[in-house]
Structure 1
Amino acid sequence: MTTRPRILVVGAGFAGVQCVRRLERKLAPGEADISLVTPFSYQLYLPLLPQVASGILTPQSVAVSLRRSKKHRTRIIPGGAIGVDAKAKVCVIRKITGETVNEPYDYILLSPGSITRTFDIPGLLDNARGMKTLAEAAYVRDHVISQLDLADASQDEAEIASRLQFVVVGGGYAGTETAACLQRLTTSALKRYPRLDPKLIKWHLIDIAPKLMPELGDKLGRSALEILRRRGIEVSLGVSIAKAGPEEVTFTDGRVLPCRTLIWTAGVAASPLVATLGSETIKGRLAVNADMTVPRLDGVFALGDAAAVPDLAKGEEGAVCPPTAQHAMRQGKTIADNILASLRGRPLEPYHHRDLGLVVDLGGKDAVSKPLGIELRGLPAQAVARGYHWSALRTNVAKTRVLTNWMLNAVAGDDFVRTGFQSRNPATLRDFEYSDAYLTADQIREHTAGLIAEG
């Protein structure tokens, strides 16, 4: 009695979903079984999260259903992978119910994504908010609007000052777009809060790096910096957080700022899942071959944020692809083709893709973009940025929702409604990062011992 090969995909980000969709289209009926491990039955379009936080887009717009597919035949396992036993070819999964199960595989594609990168800063986990998940974006929006409501109702000048100062840490795309979009939201809100002094609302964007978004190049980076400062955002470079409290933030340059809103977007780290394999890593990401196979581990592929995929387009020794959505989607296609090649006895192909450019949406008519090396600013850059994001959305339903939201926001402006999500939940980094949920090597062997004995 023979069984079909089992393909297990871990993670429903850009890489994982692109791989699954290609496999569904190209696998012959009965050729293999596909399973996808993800806690949510949607793919999150992460680059548009700042627009969710600022209310330009609704949360549903960027949550693209995994079940909207004409050829949907993938078994979705609602949970997260917490360990991999490559020798036994078993993935340990914790379902959303808390139940732990073993999932055997013949091929496993590891695309678990990343977690927020934090440092040993006193008070950070308990007082900072992240922008990595859909829930966090919704909580951030609720929190910012609640600060306006509470400041408007307060008679205490010190409380008002602390509630109307906002700090975003991280001068990359996520941090810059978050600060820009939310600053635009609070500026638009002023006409609805006539008791608030506009001069008291202050946004701060800080980053330890000497330049803002260095990937854009000097000219566009300076343009983005000028746009932010022209809009009243105070940008401090070469600075980070020394200590975070519930009502104040201490910067590394000694400044102490009364502040009740600290948004942390200072980079990401590969999912802790990669450490459970005991394989070689490069800056925390799994070292893989050019065809995205993990050396010395049979049937294991890795891609996306969790893998250091060699960047053959650069032609530099040791160069790896940046953890961007653009690379993740194309890696997903290549790895699906390599799985098919392996099943059919054909050679595997290396991943090779030249970066097509960068887009940064700063809200309103402000944007900077660099498609194919061409530097754009203002409305042309905004058109390119939104056009790229719109075209990258996977379903027509998602495209329609996003386009409708953009048009409605342009015509009707912003709404300042709190949904009530954060009424009783602080929703800080500690509440969303579960880095202690993963198994040790001994725990993984204990979980899979029964399957090895049966085999």
Structure 2
Amino acid sequence: MSRPRILVVGAGFAGVACVRRLERRLTGREAAISLLSPFAYQLYLPLLPQVASGVLTPQSVALSLRRSEKHRTRIIPGGAIGIDTDAKVCVVRTITGETETEPYDHLVLAPGSVTRTFDIPGLAEHARGMKTLAEAAYLRDHVIAQLDLADASQDEAERAARLQFVVVGGGYAGTETAACLQLLTHNAVRRYPRLDPNLIKWHLVDIAPALMPELGPKLGAAALAILRRRGIEVSLGVSVASVDDENVTLTDGRVLPCRTLIWTAGVAASPLIGTLGAETLRGRLLVEPDMTVPGLPGVYALGDAAAVPDLAKGEEGAICPPTAQHAMRQGKVIADNLVATLRGERTRPYSHKDLGLVVDLGGLDAVSKPLGVELHGMPAQAVARAYHWAALRTNVAKTRVMTNWLLNAVAGDDFVRTGFLASKSGTLRDFEYTDAYLTPDQVRAHTASLRAGTS
């Protein structure tokens, strides 16, 4: 008999944790494992703001999927754009642009999330994101380019516009991005004697009434105080009404002359979930406590794309937040459940008590809440960096990150533009390819011949 085929979609925290556990627990004769990802690395997403600010190099947070000499997982270089659960195939767009089908017996869906956007005039054309490694690398180039262009300009209005930056989103990504990039421009302006440091303005905007409410009022207020002490203007209860290539208009009527809008206003589940036609909760796939998808035999879902019941919270209807610590642990539990299924054993539900949150604001500033203990300042920074360092999967990544941190602490920033994607606008639509996914009807049309062959 042929081996059961396990297909894992996505090489984020959840997908990689699942594959690593499967490789350890299953023999090569028990199953064939495939991992579908357009990139041959796992991105350590929480450290992206430090890539954008130049504290870390892009390679430091891109953990290779091929470091292990013992891995036997087949890595498929492409992205899933549709799934036909009747035919048990995944429609794949390879990195060469070709469309193929990949059959499976057991499917693990961990496609992650995309930047959540709204129907705001000009947003897709002018906003820049912070969800991918390419976006972070591009954003660093873009911010330094604004300093270069402002320094060379003879037009005072253009100077002011290029030195005004707007970040939308008061969650972890937005707060850390604003804090780290503000520190970058604050340090860089010393190398631009023609620029007035007072012209550099950073705005953090969020529609919510509080900054990072998950931290609690005390730490949220501490983070707010740190940002305002640095000169970042924080506007809560406000969002963006429209944006063009020269201005950002806020919902409170203010018009900010600006060439840089960074959009980090939350995430949405991968559009791949919409191709299944299964029940969802706020865009995330509804799953059982053991992370099986009701009505779809052999299909599991986890991470950002799944509404996994949070049993540890003890509240009816509670859903696990889309964080790395949950994703990694869910991946391990799904792997164990797959092994149990293959061996005719019982599966188990997922349950994990949140270990806390860390927010690195750059320099010596941070706020953290490990195991419910509220910290800020240097103790919080030590906890934040220790947590991230320990969570990195490979010793090579740990060495690179620690070396980068030490080098930055001793030598400071290096304000160099690499020219990355200089010919592109670098907006949201340039990086996340959300228009690549098929509709359920298109998926069925694509796999019709396969279903006909099995009928």
TM-score normalised per structure 2: 0.99
Compute the displacement of 1:449 (Å).
2.0
CA distance in 1, matches of 2:280, 2:304: 12
- 2:422 and 2:328 map into 1 onto residues whose CA distance is 37
Residues in 2 aligned to 1:71 and 1:7: alpha-carbon distance in whole angstroms: 18
The 3-state SS of whatever aligns with 1:313 is helix
* Farther-moved stretch of structure 1 (23-32 vs 348-357): 23-32
Equivalent residue, structure 2, for 1:104: 103
2:249 maps to 250
Separation of aligned partners in 2, 1:82 and 1:190: 44
Aligned residues: 454
Q: How does 1:345-364 map to 2 (within 5 A)?
A: 345-364=344-363
AA aligned to 1:262 is: L
CA distance in 1, matches of 2:169, 2:193: 31
User: How far did residue 439 of structure 1 move?
Assistant: 1.3
Partner of 1:44: 43
The residue aligned with 1:417 is 416
1:281 to 2:262 alignment: no
* TM-score normalised according to structure 1 size: 0.99
Counterpart in the other structure of 2:123: 124
Residue 70 of structure 1 and its aligned partner are, at CA, apart by 4.1
What corresponds to 1:30 in structure 2? 29
Cα deviation, residue 299, structure 1: 0.2
Q: Is the 8 A contact 2:86 2:451 kept in 1?
A: no
Residue 433 (structure 1) shift: 2.8
Instruction: For 1:315-394, list aligned pairs within 5 A.
Output: 315-394=314-393
1:8 match: secondary structure: strand
Q: Deviations over 1:384-426 (max 9, x none)?
A: 0000000010000000000000000000000100000132111
Shift of 1:18: 0.4
What is the alpha-carbon distance in structure 1 between the residues aligned to residue 236 and residue 60 of structure 2? 33
One-letter amino acid matched to 2:16: V
* Code of the aligned partner of 1:255: R
Tell me what 2:146 maps to. Answer: 147
Q: Is the 8 A contact 1:111 1:304 kept in 2?
A: yes
Q: Once the two structures are aligned, what percentage of the paired residues are identical?
A: 79
2:266 equivalent to 1:267: yes
Contact 1:93/1:101, CA 8 A, preserved across alignment: yes
1:310 paired residue number: 309
CA distance in 2, matches of 1:313, 1:57: 35
Cα distance in 2 for residues equivalent to 1:185 and 1:301:
42
CA contact (8 A) 1:61 1:401 kept: yes
Please state how far the C-alpha of 1:247 moved relative to its aligned partner.
1.1
Kindly tell me: are residues 290 and 111 of structure 1, through their superposed partners in 2, closer, same or farther at Cα, counting changes over 3 Å? same
State the match for 1:73 in structure 2: 72
Q: Deviations over 1:6-33 (max 9, x none)?
A: 0000000000000001101111131100
Residues of 2 paired with 1:25 and 1:447: CA distance?
Answer: 35
Structure 2 residue identity aligned to 1:237: L
On the 8 A contact 1:142/1:422 being kept in 2, the answer is no
Q: Secondary structure at the match of 1:64?
A: strand
Query: What secondary structure does 2:312 align onto?
Result: coil
Superposed CA RMSD:
0.7
Higher mean C-alpha deviation, range 417-426 or range 436-445: 436-445
| Structure 2 unaligned blocks of 5 or more | none
Q: CA deviation at 1:301?
A: 0.1
Partner of 2:398: 399
Deviations 1:289-312 (A, max 9, x none): 000000010100000000000000
Q: Does 1:7 align with 2:6?
A: yes
Confirm or deny that 1:299 pairs with 2:264: no
Question: Residue 166 of structure 2: SS of its match in structure 1?
Answer: strand
The runs of at least 4 consecutive aligned structure 1 residues that moved more than 4 Å come to: none
Q: Which runs of 5+ in 1 are unaligned?
A: none
- The AA in structure 2 aligned to 1:136 is E
What is the CA distance between 1:450 and its match in structure 2?
2.1
